[in-house]
Amino acid sequence: MYDLLIIGGGPAGYVAAERAGHKGLNVVLFEKKSMGGVCLNEGCIPTKTLLYSAKTYHNALHGDKYGVYGDNIRFDFSKITARKDKVVKKLVAGVESKMKVNHVTVVKGEAMIQERGANGLEIKCDDKTYFGANLLVCTGSEAFLPPIPGLAEAGDVILTNREILALNEQPASLVIIGGGVIGMEFASFYNSLGTKVTVVEMLPEILGGLDFEISAMLRDMYTKKGLEFNLSAKVVRIEGNKVIFEKDGRTESVEGEKILVSVGRRAVTRGFGLENLNVELNRVGIKVDEKMRTNVPGVFAAGDVTGFSLLAHTASREGEVVVNNLTGRNDIMRYDAIPGVVYTNPEVAGVGLTEETAKAKGLAYRIAKLPMAFSGRFIAENEGGNGLCKVLVGEKYGEVLGVHMLGNPCSEMIYGACMAIEQEMTLEKMQEVVFPHPTVSEIFKETLFALQ
Amino acid sequence: MAIVVIMPKQGQSVESCIITDSKKKGDIVAKGDILFTYETDKASFEEVSPEDGVILECLYKEGDEVPVLNDMMVIGQPGEDYIALLGEPAPTQEPSGTAESNVQPVLAQIDETSHVPGTQAGDKLVFVSPRASNLAEKEALDPTRLAGSGPNGRVIEKDVLAVLESRPDMTPLARKMAAAEGLQPQAQGTGLAGTARAIDLKPVASAVSADDYEDKKLSNMRKLIAKAMYTSLQNSAQLTHHLGADARRIQELRKKVKKAMDAGTLTTNVTLNDMVCFAVIKALKQYPNVNSHFLGDNMRLFNKVHLGLAVDTDRGLMVPVVRKADDMSIIELANQFKEIANACRKGGIAPELLSSEAATFTVSNLGNYGVEIFTPVINLPQSAILGVNTIVPRPKDLGDGVYGFVPYIGLSLTYDHRALDGGEATRFLKQIAVEIENLELDIF
């Protein structure tokens, strides 16, 4: 009899297992593929590895801006992907060792939830039955393939995040359907390597949900780098290598050696016996409350399977909330200080309310914007570069409502803003915090003072 | 310019105070810092510094008894010559040397939870110590809403700390919002590790919104009644016995009265209440212990019956007295009752007739309103009060195995058990019933 059964070894599952094991719970985790989930194997980590190669190549190519010259600068695509595989392998091993250290039993195989029996919750895996007092479902999500005519017939041309990471050769041209975070990161990578990339986005702007102004700035930057954008463009058909879309009432088409479909992800709620427990689902995934409890006592869900947020760091925190409540510490999930990052070059990072959401909520707010050039360090390291920092505070009390940035390395400094929002810090308190000089993070402090 | 801080005079009768805690010579103090704390026989106080500076001289130490208005310490800048300042008569220009500046009286509405038993509800001065006030302000608390545990209900630092302990940590936004909007966090916050966030704040008195009620000042009359009734229940050992009297006799008399009035042979309308009171007076004559005041160390037994009668008026309950009621005939009694009741309703009653000391016993009649049983509250220092209830039919053994419904008048006697025991009270109550059942009126 286990204290906790966990299905899925992604950022929700393995973090929950690690924390629960550390607290002395008897935990078993089922993973059908490789520990680390989509994030480690087909998402966050491999893409960041690739993007760093691209960035290094880009910097080498443009070293002349910094007075550094190199000849015959080139890259080897197979070396880049080999390094990616090595990094993934290393990190998967790291997660596996964490499981061992925390006495988590890892079962490799497909788990199948049984009906609740006399011995509590029951999972069958490879003809063996496991009993547990609690169950955490974190089966994640998978790429959503929309019912576009011709998509299924296009065969190998069509890629999702999984297949594109497995490519052994660089495509000469790439059409990306969906200009969200995943689409833009692959666009960035292949654009840097010289592939002709075209983005087809249904909405009027890329990176839906992020700060509109920053998204537009990033799009301009990439347009200058040769990336082609088709906004407000609805894909109607795929004919082999051709993506046919309607835009401004006209039908246009774009051709690519490969076509990446990155229009969204779907929670995985089928195929592992969830229905045997009558767990309630909603439109996007498993329905949970603020403690990640489902409608069935003792059954929890965390991560992408809940269908919202869809971020690895959200998933990990959700897993921790489950374990905290199981081990006697009252904890709830808060979603208002979850950062969002896009690892393009330059990076985009934001947390809290955007101008658009603040307006939609009818909040009284003040806003300040400063170009990244207000940071000395940014100037020193980004020759000819540009960026933006935006801070929203409440009109009446000056609490930090939202922080949005464009410019390297904002992915590394956004957590400061997360802390401010999570703690409902006010302007005058934040202004007393000492930021290291010279760093790009000082742009946050400068913008806070611009709100005076 | 150095300043001499004197021992404030806290009240007219205070001649000296004892130092309980004090800064030392050489200590640096900021304006508002507590210089020393001191006690009178009743309360403890804090003296705060009127200026930033250094304590140049401290003339007393902890435990010393300091005569009021004496020099306590000198505050100034290092090196200043202050000797000339000492030994002079108590300075009058002292900015903080007066009792008023030591405690901060705040006029506040005391809510039910902080009401101290024995004090009067309503507007009340709440005293908050400077320490408590500073802390409360920093922590976005309204100290005037706290129950003070200091002398005379003074809110002291401990009271503020007690609230803070039971309250979750608050985010900077929550603090600001709480202070600005008079809100307080719920017991469990939803922020980091249970920290209270802005969304966890709620109004202090969440049970009612300001739109739901209207605050009305108490009239003096209401205040007096409130005080008298509350004091009565707090300061005596009251209990009530209930008993019924066969009302056929007085109902028959009442019919006769009506008939005689119709015939013109009787000019005074003698009511059931008059008759009951007449019977009560007769019973009181036989039980002198009931016709009394309980005065703590002694019982005052009255030779005469001064009968109080509870009268409902627009301004509130009034209990006028008919003096020497036992000397009166039923007609005189009936006329007297009518006269004083009218005087009360019109507001022309002599104040000395309203005093609870003026009556030796009180009758409160709610029978007209259909009340079947109640527990009247004694007008101290009287020993008892009779509540008269409505007449209800009750089954009665009429003899020979015949049962019939008979009208009964309910009698509720509240007595102070300090003055009377149950047996005597019951016998007295029974006697009233007997008098009612056998009442003779020589008016027809």
Average pLDDT of A370-377? 96
Which of A396, A424, A426 is opposite residue B197, by nearest beta carbon? A424
Nearby residues of A445 by Cβ (< 8 Å), 6 or more positions away: A430, A431, A433, A435
Quickly count: other Cβ atoms within 10 Å of residue A424's Cβ: 29
Classify B189 as helix, strand or coil.
Answer: coil
B305/B308 Cα distance (integer angstroms): 9
Global pTM? 0.63
Q: What pLDDT score was predicted for residue B131?
A: 85
- The label of the residue with tokens 């040397």 reads B97
A391/A451 Cα distance (integer angstroms): 8
CB crowding A233-250: b at 16 or more within 10 Å, else e: bebeebeebbbbbeeeee
Q: Is some CB atom of chain B closer than 8 A to the CB atom of A55? A: no
Q: Is some CB atom of chain A closer than 8 A to the CB atom of B174? A: yes
A133/B283 Cα distance (integer angstroms): 78
Classify A132 as helix, strand or coil.
Answer: strand
The domains of chain A, with CATH numbers, are 2-143+266-326 (3.50.50.60), 152-263 (3.50.50.60), 340-450 (3.30.390.30)
- Token couple for A223: 């347009």
A365/A401 Cα distance (integer angstroms): 8
Which of B191, B194, B198 is opposite residue A330, by nearest beta carbon? B194
Give Cα B316 distance to the centre of its chain.
17
- Interchain pair A423, B172: CB under 8 A: yes
Do B54 and B18 meet the contact criterion of CB atoms below 8 Å apart? no
Q: Is some CB atom of chain B closer than 8 A to the CB atom of A419? A: no
Q: Which of the residues in chain B have pLDDT under 50?
A: 88-123, 206-208
Q: What pLDDT score was predicted for residue B210?
A: 57
- Interchain pair B176, A394: CB under 8 A: no
C-alpha triplet B115, B117, B118: angle, nearest 5°:
120
Pairing of strands A242-247, A250-255: antiparallel
Beta-sheet strands, E only, within B302-441: 307-309, 311-313, 316-318, 321-322, 361-365, 384-397, 403-416
Pairing of strands B321-322, A173-177: unpaired
C-alpha triplet B31, B37, B38: angle, nearest 5°:
140
CA–CA min distance A57, chain B (Å)? 42
3-class SS letters over A329-342: CCCCCCCCCCCEEE
CB < 8 Å from A in window 182-201 of B = 188, 190-192, 194-195, 197-198
Inter-residue long-range contacts of A58-67, CB under 8 Å, 24+ positions, other chains counted: A58/A192, A58/A345, A65/A383, A65/A384, A66/A383
Among A190-199, A414-423, B211-220, the least confident range: B211-220
Residue among A260, A273, A85, A109 at smallest CA distance from A188:
A260
Among A305-314, A388-397, B29-38, B248-257, the least confident range: B29-38
CA–CA min distance A397, chain B (Å)? 7
Q: How many residues does chain B have?
A: 444
Residue among A366, A153, A118, A345 at smallest CA distance from A259:
A153
Among A10-24, A305-319, B85-99, B294-308, the least confident range: B85-99
End-to-end CA distance of chain B: 95
Tens-place pLDDT, residues A247-294: 999 999 999 999 999 999 999 999 999 999 999 999 999 999 999 999
The domains of chain B, with CATH numbers, are 3-101 (2.40.50.100), 104-212 (4.10.320.10), 221-437 (3.30.559.10)
Backbone φ and ψ of B243, nearest 5°:
-155, 150
Classify B153 as helix, strand or coil.
Answer: helix
Average pLDDT of A309-336? 96
- The label of the residue with tokens 């009297």 reads B245
Angle between helices A44-61 and A181-193 (to 10 degrees): 40
Q: Is A62 a residue of the active site?
A: no
Q: Which helix (H) or strand (E) holds A84?
A: helix A77-101
Q: Is some CB atom of chain B closer than 8 A to the CB atom of A397? A: yes
- Interchain pair A424, B194: CB under 8 A: no
Classify A265 as helix, strand or coil.
Answer: strand
Which of B173, B188, B191 is opposite residue A397, by nearest beta carbon? B173
Distances (CA, A) of B415 to B304, B307, B354, B376, B377: 19, 15, 20, 9, 9
- The label of the residue with tokens 């973090």 reads A15
Which of B172, B191, B197 is opposite residue A429, by nearest beta carbon? B172
Q: What pLDDT score was predicted for residue B87?
A: 57
Q: Is some CB atom of chain B closer than 8 A to the CB atom of A352? A: no
B contacts of A394 (beta carbons < 8 Å): 173
Among B169, B170, B175, B176, the strongest candidate for a mutation testing the A interface, having the largest count of A CBs within 10 A, is: B176
Residue among A214, A213, A253, A215 at smallest CA distance from A233:
A253
The shares of helix, strand and coil residues in chain B, as percent rounded to the nearest 5, are 30, 25, 40
A307 vs B398, higher pLDDT: A307
Q: What pLDDT score was predicted for residue B209?
A: 53
